[in-house]
Chain A
Amino acid sequence: MARPLAIEARGLVKRFDGTLAVDGVDLSVPEGAIYGILGPNGAGKTTTLRMLLGIIDPDAGTRLVLGASNPQDVARRIGYLPEERGLYPSMKAYEAIAFMGALRGLPLAEGRKRGRALLEGHGLGHAAERQIRQLSKGMAQTVQLLGTLVHKPQLVVLDEPFSGLDAINQGKLEALIRGLADRGTTVIFSTHVIAHAERLCEGIAIIAEGKVPFAGLVDEARDRIPAQVRLETRNIDGAWRAALPRATRREGHIWHFALPETGVEPLLRALIDGDAGILSLSIERAGLHDAFVAIAGEAAAKEMLARDPADAA
């Protein structure tokens, strides 16, 4: 039986001043999934998320978010962390969390209580009474993230959540996202760092120039590219070489080629019969980066890497 969908979007279109920003985006995000939207800067990630949240309305297409065609009708069940982080500088940390909860219908007193507890739980108990302007950037980002979660949303939408975080905090955030999914919360986030999506996501949508050339499971994306075979032989010549695919790359006694559609068994038989002298043979599944390059194109991949090489490491 198919899992119910937390988000279902069909043919979302958005134009700004005549420019097509999003062009027919389809998305299906199952409940409880961690779902990534991958794409370079300006691809339409933020616009897509904003349409899914009801911040802006699409020019065409339909969206069902937690079963509602108008996402604002289920705003109390959604948490949102925008890419451009913002908090009131004069608010105390726990008050900021409570305020964000209040916007989602959480009573202020309960929000304050939860705010203190969340800060304590994330090692920021000492900062609860401090004003946002007195916190470091990383601490303020954590406060905003906690404000996104304080009302225990069913759906959490994060726009470039790893942006600006150091490696340690990126790891913490990954753990937090996994924890949310373990508790049944659907998490959808946009990112230009493929590694995060590869480590975290069950499903992804690759978005480039407003279109979604791929949306589905991470495994399905990888399967778009055949597995890569690495073969090491004692001999470098013989009749067995005819069994190797045409696009084979040689490095001394090592051969690289895509796994043939017929599978590895006919190839192995030919290598053995032809006395290639197999020293090692490994089949490596394509990574998400390779899949992204194949689907979105080399240019999009380069742009993503160029935007923040440190993040991509």
Chain B
Amino acid sequence: MSAADHSGRLSLLSAAFIIARRDFTAILFGRAFIFFLLGPLFPVVVLALAGGVGAQVESQAATADVGIAMSGADVDAMLAAREQLAARIGPAIPSMVELERLEPGEAFDPVAVLEGREGQLAAIITGTLAAPELTATEAQLGRWQGMVATVAAYAADGDRLAFPPVATRQVATSGATENAGRLRTAQGGQLLLFLLIMLLASMVLSNLVEEKGNKIIEILAAAIPMDAVFLGKLFAMLGISLVGITVWGGTAAVVLIAGGVSLSDYANPGVGWPMFFALFAIYFAMGYLLLGAIFLAVGSLAATVREVQTLSMPVTMLQILVFFLASLAVTRQGEWIEYAAIAFPLSSPFVMVGRAATSESLWPHLVALGWQALCVALFIRVGASLFRKRVMKSGPQSATASRGLGRLARSAFSKRSASKT
């Protein structure tokens, strides 16, 4: 450990290291860490279950039959034509079922049958092959009118139609496919980054509140600079985050590989997968440090978990807005909105992860990382200053805290701090 001479005090980095080491090991070997690791799996399981149920509901809802109520010969001809066309047209052709084999002159009211709302009937074909009549809702009429005409024409005169063979040539991808795939990668990367940062930045806040509850903060404040406490806590949680990401990423990789999924199945990000992962990790660190610094400064104001929730709500809402901005920016590359989102510190990491997915250029990342590093330094400096000034408040602190962020911001530039008398 590099430290000052024995008569002096610990250097900022040495002191921060002591705090970071304590926090890191305490969290890593704490009982709650396993739940921290398992935490992200719960939403995944819930989403998977919801997706499965949703898909089943959707498939049930999508099953809609077109009933045929024609003469027996016409019914047979329509069903046969439908089967033959289905092989060529695919799922676009509706499912057709025999509804009635009508005797000549027999009356049939399709409107009454449909309004009876029985079964999966969505439309009814009546009339003859030469003059079919389709009864359905407005939406279904527009969807199936042409298809019913085609089936009826094929049923009436199918033998005389000739379908020329189409030669096929397969390519791995196309411009449209590649762009759409990269866009999906960008959006997925942004979403993952957002979830990770929100999860971990709020953890640093809980950690600080716990510390204030332990009353140990005064011992720390007497021994080492409060900036070191701030830095130590921030970097301890960054370390924990990276452990978490390694575990989650490793688990995801094992599951995907076991499931036969390969990265080559997905659109290659603009910068390539290895660089994309590296940039993702760096942008995560930047985004986490920026938001973590804000949360820690907020945490220095709060005395209870309830106050933490109240005070962090505006920051959380801001972060959600920032995420939406970044999502929008990724679809507007080269426009002012993208540059604005890159320049705004909190959205910059998200936009740049999107860019790493969609664009091959590396130099914008160097520029953005330089800018973000500058902002991280500034945020930590201001955050640590607020932390130092406010965290030692006791007694009337709660009332002060509830006065909100305006007071917090003003106190960053005032010399006043407080203490119990």
Residues of A in contact with B (beta carbons under 8 Å apart) = 14-17, 21-22, 42-47, 50, 53-57, 59, 72-78, 80, 82-91, 99-100, 102-105, 107, 210
Q: Of B3-11, B145-153, B254-262, which binds chain A?
A: B3-11
A104 and B223 form a contact (CB under 8 A): yes
State in angstroms the CA–CA spacing of A32 and B200 once bound together: 48
Q: Is B216 close to A, CB under 8 A? A: yes
B421 and A42 form a contact (CB under 8 A): yes
CB distance from A6 to the nearest CB of B (A): 14
Can you list 10 pairs linking A and B with CB atoms under 8 Å apart?
A16-B416, A56-B417, A57-B417, A75-B224, A86-B215, A87-B216, A88-B216, A90-B26, A103-B223, A105-B10
A47 and B214 form a contact (CB under 8 A): no
A74 and B7 form a contact (CB under 8 A): yes
CB distance from A57 to the nearest CB of B (A): 7
Tally inter-chain residue pairs, CB-CB below 8 A.
Answer: 111
State in angstroms the CA–CA spacing of A53 and B419 once bound together: 13
Given A44-B421, A88-B26, A105–B3 Cβ distance below 8 Å? Answer: yes
Residues of B contacting A55 in the complex (Cβ-Cβ under 8 angstroms): 218, 221-222, 392, 419
A77 and B223 form a contact (CB under 8 A): no
Q: Is B225 close to A, CB under 8 A? A: yes
State in angstroms the CA–CA spacing of A47 and B392 once bound together: 11
A76 and B18 form a contact (CB under 8 A): no
A56 and B392 form a contact (CB under 8 A): yes
CB distance from B300 to the nearest CB of A (A): 14
State in angstroms the CA–CA spacing of A54 and B15 once bound together: 16
* CB nearest neighbor in A for B218: A82
Residues of A contacting B396 in the complex (Cβ-Cβ under 8 angstroms): 16-17
Given A17-B418, A100-B219, A87–B9 Cβ distance below 8 Å? Answer: no
- As a 0/1 sequence over residues 390 to 420 of chain B, the CB contacts with chain A under 8 angstroms (1 = contact) are 0010101000100000000000000111111
* CB nearest neighbor in B for A154: B7
Residues of A contacting B418 in the complex (Cβ-Cβ under 8 angstroms): 16-17, 56
State in angstroms the CA–CA spacing of A54 and B30 once bound together: 33
Residues of A contacting B417 in the complex (Cβ-Cβ under 8 angstroms): 56-57
State in angstroms the CA–CA spacing of A86 and B221 once bound together: 13
- As a 0/1 sequence over residues 1 to 25 of chain B, the CB contacts with chain A under 8 angstroms (1 = contact) are 1011011111000010010001000
Given A21-B421, A44-B421, A86-B218, A103–B26 Cβ distance below 8 Å? Answer: no
Q: Is B217 close to A, CB under 8 A? A: yes
State in angstroms the CA–CA spacing of A60 and B182 once bound together: 62
B421 and A75 form a contact (CB under 8 A): no
Residues of A contacting B15 in the complex (Cβ-Cβ under 8 angstroms): 103
B218 and A89 form a contact (CB under 8 A): no
Residues of B contacting A57 in the complex (Cβ-Cβ under 8 angstroms): 415, 417
Q: Is B220 close to A, CB under 8 A? A: yes
Given A57-B415, A85-B215, A88-B26, A74–B8 Cβ distance below 8 Å? Answer: yes
A86 and B421 form a contact (CB under 8 A): no
Residues of B contacting A47 in the complex (Cβ-Cβ under 8 angstroms): 419-421
State in angstroms the CA–CA spacing of A289 and B91 once bound together: 98
Partner of B220, one of A22, A77, A103: A103
Partner of A77, one of B7, B22, B215, B222: B7
State in angstroms the CA–CA spacing of A86 and B218 once bound together: 8
A105 and B216 form a contact (CB under 8 A): no
CB distance from A280 to the nearest CB of B (A): 47
State in angstroms the CA–CA spacing of A102 and B421 once bound together: 28
Residues of B contacting A89 in the complex (Cβ-Cβ under 8 angstroms): 214
B222 and A76 form a contact (CB under 8 A): no
State in angstroms the CA–CA spacing of A43 and B30 once bound together: 41
Given A55-B392, A88-B26, A16–B222 Cβ distance below 8 Å? Answer: no
